[in-house]
Amino acid sequence: MTTRTRFVGFLSLALLMLATSVSFAARKELPAESPEGLKLVKGTKLAAVYMKEGADFSGYDKVAILDCYVAFKKNWKREQNREHFGSVSDRDVARIKSKLADEFKKVFSEELVKKGNEISSTAASDVLVLRPAIINLDINAPDTREPGISYTIAASAGQMTLFLELYDSVTSELLARVMDPEADRGFGTFTLQNEVTGRVAADHILRKWADILGDYLQHARTTGESTPPE
């Protein structure tokens, strides 16, 4: 089995967990241990965090961010085309995925640097590898690049789920896995949604995730404690 096949398999597992849990935050419904032996960590700011027992993150002050894998919600394109008269093409889907992947790397790089991390492209004992994916992506007002103004009236710009794995760059040992669904909460009322509001909403969610990770790594370096703070 190839590394990519295993990765996609774990993404499928994450989607299954999302589908079968009434509430992802109800952690008592999640397995106490992952197939690789990672332990479920309770009391974190994210929906599900699994860590290798005894993993020490205090020595990492550099991160290497791999390209972000992006997957839409099942049947998203079909539903969009039914509602918007076939306006979303395969080219639109590929462009949106590419733009979100680029935005992920940009936002995480900026925020992690603010928290005292360096961005690296080489393996070393102080380099932590981030292997990210955005799954279950659901955009209410996709940019189709059609003539005229494209917009949707909705209470939210959409939602997406983070699936993030953390590896030691030298040994390639899997140290932690994170899953967290987030939705744009908007203003609590139905408003105009378009490409701009969608990008702003996505950036807000990405920065939230990056801040949580940055705070955790900073906490681990400062205190020597690798247990995520509550």
Residue with more model confidence, 18 or 219: 219
Q: Please tell me the predicted confidence (pLDDT) of residue 188.
A: 47
Q: Please tell me the predicted confidence (pLDDT) of residue 26.
A: 47
Angle at 16 between CA 3 and CA 34, to 5 degrees: 55
Q: Which residues contact 73 (CB under 8 A, 6 or more apart)?
A: 136, 137, 138
Total Cβ atoms within 10 A of residue 94: 11
Counting residues of the chain whose pLDDT is more than 90, the rounded percentage is 56
Residue with more model confidence, 185 or 164: 164
Total Cβ atoms within 10 A of residue 139: 24
**pLDDT of residue 54 exceeding 50:** yes
The predicted model gives 109-115 an average pLDDT of 97
Q: Please tell me the predicted confidence (pLDDT) of residue 47.
A: 93
Q: Is the dihedral of CA 175, 64, 203, 132 positive or negative?
A: negative
Q: Please tell me the predicted confidence (pLDDT) of residue 81.
A: 85
Q: Please tell me the predicted confidence (pLDDT) of residue 118.
A: 97
Residue 105 banded pLDDT, cuts 50, 70, 90 = very high
Residue 183 banded pLDDT, cuts 50, 70, 90 = confident
Q: Which residues contact 144 (CB under 8 A, 6 or more apart)?
A: 84, 87, 88, 89, 92, 150
Q: Please tell me the predicted confidence (pLDDT) of residue 196.
A: 62
Q: What's the pTM?
A: 0.82
Residue with more model confidence, 58 or 185: 58
**pLDDT of residue 147 exceeding 90:** no
Task: Compute the mean pLDDT over every residue in the chain, rounded to the nearest whole number.
Answer: 82
Q: Please tell me the predicted confidence (pLDDT) of residue 201.
A: 84
32-52: pLDDT as tens digits = 999 999 999 998 999 999 999
The predicted model gives 138-152 an average pLDDT of 62
- Torsion from C-alpha of 228, 13, 20, 28, nearest 10 degrees: -30
End-to-end CA distance of the chain: 37
**pLDDT of residue 91 exceeding 50:** yes
Q: Please tell me the predicted confidence (pLDDT) of residue 101.
A: 96
**pLDDT of residue 108 exceeding 70:** yes
Residue with more model confidence, 124 or 190: 124
Q: Which residues contact 156 (CB under 8 A, 6 or more apart)?
A: 140, 183, 184, 185, 186, 193, 201
Total Cβ atoms within 10 A of residue 164: 21
The predicted model gives 6-10 an average pLDDT of 52
Instruction: List the structure tokens of 194.
Output: 């378009």
